[in-house]
Structure 1
Amino acid sequence: MSESLLSPVLDDDGAPFWRYAAEGELRIQACADCGELRFPPRPCCPHCHSFASEWRKMSGRGRVWSYVVPHPPLLPAYAAQAPYNAIVVELAEAPRIRLVGHLVSGPHEPLDSVPPDRIRIGARVQVVFTEVDGVSVPRWVLERS
């Protein structure tokens, strides 16, 4: 049996996120009544309890808030790409919104394309999108200074 990489779970609440990702856009759900951004997507605003929502386009810029380099790889399908990273990115225009992904050297580069010693908390990053098992997923590259 061949193992594959983890793929996102597509549900009704998150469907617009993945549709926009397929178009190369990073959008975050916002309450259409109070304006608060929320992630992960959900049907009701945790602030004002409204069920009205919209999807706001983000710049795709952020900072590395946290990261980990798993040793040894926890899932067999990732073993060939070790040492890889998993990062948490705080969005520039929405610091309370944090997304998990991988820091890579380019949109179609492997998960191990950035050496672990180059990853820094606070490093500026920009989103890129890569297709994984038919779904466009956000990954991150270091912002060019």
Structure 2
Amino acid sequence: MTHMLQPEAEWRAHLAEGRFMIQRSQSTGGHVFYPRVAEPGTGAEDLEWVSASGAGTVHAVTVVRKKDPADSYNVVLVDLAEGPRLMSRVDGVPVDAVQIGMAVRASIIVEGDKPLLVFVPA
């Protein structure tokens, strides 16, 4: 009997291997994020893991300002090309340079010895 990881643990395991994977319903073709056991709206439980393109567009952005400006960071909502929207941050540009509508691509980094999905300008 194969032990199945919980969806979130499986997603993190893929990240640790350097792969950005999202779930897709085999019956509806709908992509799903955050990892879960059934597709929202349809209840389809036939979710499979597929490679995400990594392409996205910034839907919303805010900047978390710290006392030391060097510690400030952005928080973004990114619409993936596959449809789902997720929260992350955009690296590689000044925090104030991130704009709504900006094209971004996924990047997996290691922060505090854990893999983390961030985005960079496309």
Q: Which bracket does the TM-score occupy, shorter chain normalised?
A: 0.7 to 0.9
The 3 A distance-change label for structure 1 pair 81 and 101 is farther
The 3 A distance-change label for structure 1 pair 98 and 83 is same
Structure 1 counterpart of 2:114: 135
Whole-Å Cα distance in 1 between the matches of residues 71 and 113 of structure 2?
23
Q: Once the 2 structures are TM-superposed, how far is the Cα of residue 91 of structure 1 from its aligned partner?
A: 0.7
Whole-Å Cα distance in 2 between the matches of residues 82 and 101 of structure 1?
16
The yes-or-no answer on 1:91 pairing with 2:80 is yes
The yes-or-no answer on 1:56 pairing with 2:50 is yes
For 1:105-116, list aligned pairs within 5 A: 105=92, 114-116=93-95
Q: Once the 2 structures are TM-superposed, how far is the Cα of residue 32 of structure 1 from its aligned partner?
A: 2.6
**Structure 2 residue matching 1:15: 3-state secondary structure:** helix
The yes-or-no answer on 1:102 pairing with 2:96 is no
Q: CA deviation digits over 1:64-97, x for unaligned, max 9?
A: 1111102357xxxxx68532111111112x23x1
Conserved 8 A contact 2:58-2:79: yes
Segments ≥4 residues shifted beyond 4 Å: none
Structure 2 counterpart of 1:109: none
Conserved 8 A contact 2:65-2:73: no
The percent identity for this pair of structures is: 27
Structure 1 counterpart of 2:40: 46
Letter in 2 for 1:140: F
* Of 26, 32, 35, the match for 1:32: 26
Conserved 8 A contact 1:29-1:38: yes
Q: Structure 1 regions of 5+ residues with no counterpart? A: 1-10, 74-78, 106-113
The yes-or-no answer on 1:118 pairing with 2:97 is yes
Given the two structures, how large is their TM-score scaled by the length of structure 2?
0.83
Output the aligned Cα RMSD. Answer: 2.1
Q: Structure 2 regions of 5+ residues with no counterpart? A: none
Structure 1 counterpart of 2:71: 82
